[in-house]
Structure 1
Amino acid sequence: MTTHPSLASAIETDLALQHSPLLRATLHTLRYIEANGPIALTPSKALKRYFVEWAAGAFEWPHFTADDLYAVNKVLNEHDFPPLVVLHDLLIATKLARHYKGHLALTNKGRTFAKEPDRLWHLLTAQILWHTDHGRYMRRPDQFDGDWRVILNIINFEAHDGATDDKIYAAILGVSEEQAKRDYILTAILYCYVLRPLAWAGLLAEVRTGTGFGMEHIYVKTPLWSWS
């Protein structure tokens, strides 16, 4: 059966809103600015605390909820909320917003894309996967030079029914899981450049089990994987 284009778009939008914390947070931010005006910035051009605190509650970002964040921070600044740091950079890079007179202001492009979540999701996903230097968010500015086509094929197979991050790293690196666990630098690069962006975009779902050093991170493809 052939799906009508408008129906396909509606289905995709629903899936993106359901599975992509990045899309939901971006829409919250764009609509916040539309309703309340530009967001004030600190002298270092970080978003001011009043918005960070609002975003922590409104975004309900998996593993970075307000409860999660306040469990380790008495007050919240932008750098205490890693997804917001990346989101801020994405808004500027995609020209959905801009810095203007000490504020983060909405652009005409941002107003347009706020009304078209499906197009917005594609824009954000392309930006966070293919055009973002994630090394700037790491303790050391390592670069990623892997073959995305090969890596996505591996993840497509490994994460079909769910796989731990160590199993995925091992498959990508062509080593045992024990060897992958010992290669902290390469696995950190793969996490920051591959698994985390795929999860934040909504192509993978991350499930955490256990606590402390015994915690496992399991990744499984979402229905969005077939739409990308």
Structure 2
Amino acid sequence: MILHEVLLSAKLARHFKGTLRLTDLARKLKSEPARLWMLLTTHLLFVIDHSPYTRSEEPLLGNWDIFLNVINIEAQVAVTEERLCSVLYGGEEDDIRRRDFKLTASLYVHVLRPLCWAGLLNEHRTGSGFSRPDFYTKTPLWPVALSLETDRHLQPVTHH
């Protein structure tokens, strides 16, 4: 459903006699993968409203400038949804994990999942059940695709 919405929003596809057809722009961009990725990612992150895919009527507070800059610092090594919620909205990570699952779910649907789908974040699932922590790390595409205010504060990652 989301891919369908992104393709229509980006004017890469249109409906014609009950079918979904590529537009001239889509056919042109088939040979320009970088421009195609930029267009699709821009629409996926900044244009599409992800609210219909949540179980909560409340919108996620914040904006992409804040989200991207916080994730840029926090996901330098690895970060959990609860840690991001703690940094963005305050509160203890354990309290967020136990009581504020709607906030973490909303952050996942509106921010983390689209960033994973765009290839900017990796999601590492560990454990099982509701108590399992999922960790997020930046992909090699992140620093190539994004230039953020917080880049100057990043420390080099130590690899073992």
* Offset of residue 120 of structure 1: 0.8
CA distance in 1: counterparts of 2:10 and 2:63, whole angstroms: 24
CA distance in 2: counterparts of 1:141 and 1:101, whole angstroms: 35
Match of 1:122 among 28, 38, 43: 38
User: Where do residues 29-178 of structure 1 align in structure 2 (5 Å cutoff)?
Assistant: 85-178=1-94
CA distance in 2: counterparts of 1:188 and 1:213, whole angstroms: 12
TM-score by length of 2: 0.83
SS in 1 for 2:44: helix
User: Where do residues 195-214 of structure 1 align in structure 2 (5 Å cutoff)?
Assistant: 195-214=112-131
Identity of aligned residues (%): 47
After the TM superposition, which parts of structure 1 deviate over 3 Å for at least 4 consecutive aligned residues? none
SS in 2 for 1:161: coil
**Are residues 151 and 111 of structure 1, via their aligned partners in 2, closer, same or farther at CA, if it must alter by over 3 Å?**
same
TM-score by length of 1: 0.59
Match of 1:193 among 110, 124, 149: 110
Match of 2:137 among 199, 216, 220: 220
Question: How many residues matched?
Answer: 144
CA distance in 2: counterparts of 1:167 and 1:188, whole angstroms: 13
* Offset of residue 117 of structure 1: 0.9
CA distance in 2: counterparts of 1:218 and 1:177, whole angstroms: 14
Q: Deviation per CA, 1:8-32: give whole Å up to 9, x if none.
A: xxxxxxxxxxxxxxxxxxxxxxxxx
Q: Specify every segment of 5 or more residues in structure 1 that has no aligned partner in the other structure, as ranges.
A: 1-84
The residue type paired with residue 74 of structure 2 is E
User: Quick check: 1:173–1:180 contact (8 Å CA) kept in 2?
Assistant: no
* Offset of residue 141 of structure 1: 4.1
SS in 1 for 2:130: helix
Q: Specify every segment of 5 or more residues in structure 2 that has no aligned partner in the other structure, as ranges.
A: 146-160
* Offset of residue 184 of structure 1: 2.4
Q: Structure 1 residues 200-209 or 136-145, which shifts more?
A: 136-145
* Offset of residue 186 of structure 1: 2.1
| Residues 1:183 and 2:103 are matched in the alignment | no
The residue type paired with residue 109 of structure 2 is C
